[in-house]
Every structure is written in C-alpha cells, then in structure tokens.
Amino acid sequence: MTDIREEGRRRRTFAVISHPDAGKSTMTEALALHASAISAAGAVHGKAGRRGVTSDWMELERSRGISITSAALRFDYRDHVFNLVDTPGHADFSEDTYRVLAAVDCAVMLIDAAKGMEPQTMKLFQVCRHRRIPVITFVNKWDRPGREALELLDEIEERTGLRPTPVTWPLGAAGHFHGVIDRATGRAVRYTRTPGGATRAQEDELTAESARVELGHDWERAGEEVSLLSAIGADHDQKSFEAHESTPVLFGAALPNFGVARLLDTMVELAPPPADRPDVAGAVRPLDAPFSGLVFKVQANMDPAHRDRIAFVRVCSGRFERGMVLTHAATGRPFATKYAQSVFGQERTTLDEAYPGDVVGLVNATALRPGDTLYDGSAVTFPPIPSFAPEHFAVARARDSSKAKQFRRGIDQLDAEGVIQVLRSDLRGDQAPVLAAVGPMQFEVVQHRLSAEFGARISLDRLDYTLARRTDAASVPLLAGRRGAEVLERGRDQALLALFTDQWRMRSIMRENPGIVLEPLIADTSQEPR
C-alpha cells in the first residue's frame, strides 16, 4: 500500500498572490513553462500570434487582461507534484482569493520592483498571516527600472513584520538585470532573454573572474551587498519561515523567465508539504487518516461543449480513489465520485487517485458549495470559509421576460459558485433579486456569464446601500419600513442581512432600538500589523 505520508511529502500546494498588474498570471505561466507542463508561455494581453495564458481561460479574462476567477494547475517537477492555484489579483475578487487560500500550504507573494508593497498585496498577505500560511517573496520585473533592492527589503520588513532572507541577489540594478548570485551556493548565474520570452531563458554560470570582467561595477556592488546581508544575519532559517516570522526573497522577471527555475527549486527545498489539519472543533485530522477533503471552489461551464459543474476539492487526508462513495458533512448524505478529474487551467483529464495536497475536480457536484467537507470513515468537518461583507448592491432583472427560467437558473448557479451573493425578499420577488458584491467588477462578470452561458441578458439597477450586517428574525420588525435600511435573506446560507445606506443611518437605528441584533459578517483581516 502506498505510504500516504510519503506521497504527501512530495506535494507542494501553493497560491501566487499579488496586487493587480504585478505579473501574477505571467508568473503562473512561467512556472508551468519551466516545469515543462507547457511548451510555450502565453501572453496576458494578447499579442498577435501568441497564445493566451493557461490559467486565464475565461473570455472576459483574456479580453480584459486580468484574472477574474481562480484556476488550478497541476504539474510535476523534480519528482514532486505541484498544485498551483492561481488567484484573482483584483480587489473586487478578494472573496475568491480568500477561498483559495483556505486550500494551500504556502504562498508566493509577488511584488513589483518599482512599486513595492501595494495595497492589495498587503490585504492578501494579511489573509496569509491570519491563516498562518508561510510566504515566499519574489521581486518581479527586475528587468525594468525600479527601486533599490535593500530599500525593498526594508519595506517588506516594515510593512509585513517578516524578516526578509534573500535566497538570490540581483546582479545589476533594476532595469539593468544581468543575473543573480545564489546565496546558498555562491554561484553567479547570467540570464539571456529568448525571443518574446515565450521559452525558457538561457542560464549560464559565471566564474568570479569572468563575472568581474564582464559585469565590472555591478559585480563588485552585488558582492558588497551580499556580504552586508550575511553580516546582519539575513540568512534563511526554516523554522522561522514556517512559523511565519521570515520570508525567503528571490529576484527575477517573470515575462522573460528570469529566476523562475530558481523559484521552483526553492518551492521544492523550502515550501512546507501538507500537514495534519485541524477540524472545526480544533481536533487534528492526521494526514494518513481516511480520506477527507475541503471544497474551496465551484465552477460551472468551464467547457462550452460540456455544461457541467466542477467542485474543486483539496485533499486533506488519506488516499482518494475515483469511484469511492464519500459522505457530505453538511447533509450527511452519500456522495459518489465516479467522475473525478485533474484540472490544468481549462483542460481536464480523468484522475484515478490523489493524495494530501492534491486538488481533485468532481464533476456535476450540484450539492456541493465552497467550504463543504467530504470524508470517508470517521466523521470530520473542517472550518467553514466565511463570506465577505458586501459593499455594493444592485437589483438584477432579465431584459427578456421569455428568458425568466434561464435567468433564475443562472442566478442560482452563480450564487452557488460564490461569484456573487444573492439576496431575496418576499417584497422584491424572485424576478428581482438583489446582487451583493465585494467590488463592482463582480457585476460585470455576472452580466457577462449570464449572457454568454445562460442566454439571459440582464439590467442592473444600483442601490444606495453601502454596508451589510447579520441580523435575526426578532430584529426584522424593528427595521421594516425604515428609510435607508432593508432586510433580505441570503440564498447560500439563509442568513438575514440588514442593508444600510451608511454608518450614520445604521447607528441612528441602533440608538433608537438598543436590543437590535447587527453583527459583522466576517472578522477583519485587512488591518496592517502593529
């Protein structure tokens, strides 16, 4: 019988997080290229004759040049299995990213060499801090003008509280990138760009003498800075890294594929493998216990030729075998896994078995929602994935009344996926649900998908509400008919949400009704460290 813990040690399950335009999807593509999972890297913004990015498979993603939905990519590298879950970088899709980060063991934090720690990067980092996810930092776009390397290290430490421990150090300032010094081995590696950056960059090892002759001042300066790093103790320590106290740092450029192979090697050498996982009560589910898995994403209509629905399940313990009958923790009902697949962007292949850390795609999983637990053997329920507090609200209506059935089916599907939060009330009726979003771009995704996938074009009427709080049935009469307030039921969990136009209106109602129940929807993880 296969050793489950040994198979787990071969897995690396991680996400790439960054601010929009820091190069996240380009990095995802470069990693797959260097692992030989693809033969040529795609372009985020389509250049003529160049393929699109594997992880950005939706038409809207490719036309806008941004990641809108998370995507899973599985590939092999150095006898290890990598499960890379690409995340949306835009703040409007933070909820999807939050779900993904519930399923990974490590994160690669990508920062722009010129811009440093940007707001969305910090928000995503705080989610990693909250979940105790170790972070590896990659300073991207070093082939373009940017800031000083030591200055960026100071900012990383100041903003995140993590001690940066560079694994590689750049040869040349930002915009004059020759290669890197590998601090563990002392090797100097020179990078040479390939045409268009679509294939692996050429890497050549330089002797100290040849580097001195070829690079001159850049070599001397890099040597002085590496000596300074050693003098101040900025060396990697695995325990502090796994304890979320330090972050290994690498320098490179994803577009021309500079430093990408070294990042893959670092993931093999330093990134933690899957570990025993606590359940909702705090008890630990051992890695070699019977199968258990967490549903972190649901996606429908990935393939226009097959209008199916896939639930992405992170294997938390045990061995998964296609065809096994599991228990759905939320309902206690059996769940058959006849159609199990491995996913690579939009491409799918049949998957017969999987181990802790792997991502399994279960087809036609209509009963599953993000945050659900599946298990075999002894019962287990993992902590649920909370919903974010929405800040934008709009009433959706089908433009063509003859498409009412498609409209309702599409709205229910997008609600189940977590693309949007759908709120309803008897007053508004089923044909005019309120869509609640973290960011306004979610409305654009809903309009696009309803039209493209369900043939139901919609109109959206924006509402003046700006915040939502959880309430209870006893408080509903206290809010009924109040100006600037409304109570609706959220479809995904039947929670009662009270909507308000602003903080002043909410506080005014609270003063007038001291016993009213108004609770935040999610714990705040966006605050920067003290």
Annotated binding site: 86-90
User: SS3 for 289-321, per residue?
Assistant: CCCEEEEEEEEECCECCECCEEEEEEEEECCEE
| Strand ranges for 141-258 from DSSP E | 163-166, 168-171, 179-182, 188-192, 202-206, 246-251
Say which residue the tokens 């938390």 belong to. Answer: 316
How many Cβ atoms from other residues are within 10 Å of residue 242's Cβ? 17
Cβ atoms of residues 113 and 139 within 8 Å = yes
Cβ atoms of residues 134 and 244 within 8 Å = yes
| Strand ranges for 319-412 from DSSP E | 320-321, 325-328, 333-336, 340-344, 347-350, 353-354, 359-363, 373-375, 392-398
Find residue 398's DSSP bridge partners. 458
Cβ atoms of residues 319 and 4 within 8 Å = yes
User: Sign (positive/negative) of CA torsion 133, 136, 140, 145?
Assistant: positive
Q: CA angle, corner 399, sides to 396 and 405, nearest 5?
A: 80
Find residue 344's DSSP bridge partners. 73, 347
Q: 242 Cβ partners below 8 Å, 6+ apart?
A: 134, 272
Position 15, amino acid:
A
Q: 311 Cβ partners below 8 Å, 6+ apart?
A: 295, 297, 298, 361, 362, 365, 368, 372
Q: 493 Cβ partners below 8 Å, 6+ apart?
A: 387
CA 378 – CA 451 distance, rounded (Å): 44
Cβ atoms of residues 32 and 85 within 8 Å = no
Backbone torsions φ then ψ of 150, nearest 5 degrees: -65, -35
| Strand ranges for 167-308 from DSSP E | 168-171, 179-182, 188-192, 202-206, 246-251, 277-278, 284-285, 292-300
Q: What secondary structure letter does DSSP report for 91?
A: G
Q: How far is CA 378 from CA 338, 375, 459, in A?
A: 21, 8, 48
Is beta strand 106-112 parallel, antiparallel or unpaired with respect to 135-140?
A: parallel
Dihedral, CA atoms, 499, 503, 506, 509, nearest 10 degrees?
Answer: -160
CA 394 – CA 8 distance, rounded (Å): 45
Annotated binding-site members for GTP: 86-90
